[in-house]
Structure 1
Amino acid sequence: MVDKMEYNLSRKLIAEFVGTFMLVLMGTGSAIGAALIVHQYIPSGAIGALGGFTEWLAVSWGFGITAAVVIYAIGKISGGHINPAVTIGLLVTKNISLKDGIAYIIVQFIGAIVASLSLFIIFGDPGVIIGHLGANAPAAGVSSIQAIFAEAIGTFLLVLVVMGVAVDKKADSGVYGIAIGLAIGISLTFLGPLTGGCINPARGFSPMLIAYLAGGPNLLGTYPIFLIGPIVGGIVAALLYSYIGKPNEE
């Protein structure tokens, strides 16, 4: 999102670190917690239906609600991107400088990795073995192409909303956090049974990395899905809005 006031880059980067850290901590933490509760308290025969539904909603709306509150908290400082796909979309439409954009992306990945490391410390081995620290993976029967396309569509909605409610100077600035949080929630609800719901390359990478280093499954081979899909969807949405959102010149 575009800054309403000017802050120096170091303050913006701290805000992006904190924002991405909280997004990944609370979002994937909700999914880990749901997975542990389901596996501990629900008989194995019921896990497939009720357990999957619980985890699905936890990751979707855990991310959506966290994103909304975090964006309201830090949006005025850094713009509240908290997602490399959003930053890249704003970069290709010249709503952020190349220098700031690269710095944002690096800090977003660092914030996400620290969040996943924190979740490993909090949940320990059960969080890795049962919850995989909230890592994404395509569902059985979903091809890489299908998963990339689905992730691109989900991220397209997110970045389109970002452009419309936060970047566009004609937008009502009071609703942007809620609108973006809702866009994330519904996108991840749609993507849950297909890819686990990612739409954020930093969020996709960090649990895969820390879970693998902690002795969990190696899901890093699927990471290109959660890198390519969100970046392509974000770029297409940003470019499209830059075209359709430009008023006709008299």
Structure 2
Amino acid sequence: MERTGLFKRCVAEGIGTALLVLIGPGTAAFNGLITANNNESTTLADIGVISFAFAIVVMAMIYSIGKFSGCHINPAVTMALASTGHFPWKEVFPYLIAQCVGGVIGAFGIVMVLGIDGVLLGNLGATVLAPSTGYFQAIAIEAIAAFILMFVIMGIAVDSRAPKEWGGLVIGLTVGGIIMMFAGPTGASFNPARTFGPYVVDSLLGGNIDWIQFPIYVIGPLIGAIAAAVTYNFIASSRQLQLSSKSSHNEVVK
């Protein structure tokens, strides 16, 4: 079977990231709109609904475009795969551009659905730090979140021994679980494109965005994802070496 061309794979990545932002941050923006209109605070139940929305759309995208582009829909994932030799470096930049453009398109989609209130009241679901979360603490939190996601991706989608038909379900539920835990302190992005789209469109349409926080959502996820990929490769290579040693020993015994 002929491999899908780079341009078509980038289109798939752009669509996948756009839909991720439309459904995930879009649900967060809708919740923000509701709580603002009712003068209420966000509850853990609200975070659960938002997490479930992310889980659903990630699952859907993996099973829809995974066969074409690998469904990275996250610059940190692309960089981690390239850093460990699972993705060609020459294709990294086109993927990153496609993901960031997709993020912006998805954010405009939120505006189309929710209107300007989605910007002014829902903030387009943009990720922001909690008042009690420090800058470097936030980088560490985002790194941990990305580490968890990437470690699971390596185990269920990259490792040739994994049951890949379960990949979409496992990765989607992992994303949902991470958001449930990490949404409070940082908004649980662990995806630079997911943060980039709402930041850009919010800024263009008069939303309240602090771009000083943006590096957190780039540095943290990149560190965490690359560390996870390297760690998984180390574990996997150790296992292969052990199996190889056992095979050699058995051959000597025979």
* TM class, shorter-length: over 0.9
Gaps (5+ residues) in structure 1? none
State whether structure 2 residue 81 is matched by structure 1 residue 81.
Answer: no
Q: Pairwise mapping of residues 218-229 of structure 1 onto structure 2 (< 5 A)?
A: 218-229=209-220
Give the Cα–Cα distance (whole angstroms) in 2 for the partners of residues 200 and 52 of structure 1: 23
Q: Pairwise mapping of residues 162-173 of structure 1 onto structure 2 (< 5 A)?
A: 162-173=153-164
Gaps (5+ residues) in structure 2? 246-254
Letter of the 1:6 partner, please give it: R
State whether structure 2 residue 131 is matched by structure 1 residue 140.
Answer: yes
TM-score, reference length from structure 2: 0.91
C-alpha RMSD over aligned residues: 1.4
Find the partner of 2:205 among 182, 207, 214: 214
Q: Pairwise mapping of residues 1-250 of structure 1 onto structure 2 (< 5 A)?
A: 6-40=3-37, 42=38, 44=39, 47-48=40-41, 51-246=42-237, 247-248=240-241, 249-250=244-245
Q: What's the CA shift for 1:206?
A: 1.1
Give the conservation status (yes or no) of the 8 Å contact 2:132–2:185.
Answer: no
Give the Cα–Cα distance (whole angstroms) in 2 for the partners of residues 191 and 5 of structure 1: 40
Give the conservation status (yes or no) of the 8 Å contact 1:34–1:58.
Answer: no
Residues 133 and 54 of structure 1: is their aligned pair in 2 closer, same or farther, counting only changes over 3 Å?
A: farther
Segments ≥4 residues shifted beyond 3 Å: none
Give the conservation status (yes or no) of the 8 Å contact 1:35–1:55.
Answer: no
Letter of the 1:11 partner, please give it: K
Bigger shift: residues 207-216 or 56-65: 56-65
Give the aligned length. 241
Q: What's the CA shift for 1:218?
A: 2.5
Q: What's the CA shift for 1:124?
A: 2.0
Give the conservation status (yes or no) of the 8 Å contact 2:140–2:220.
Answer: yes
TM-score, reference length from structure 1: 0.92
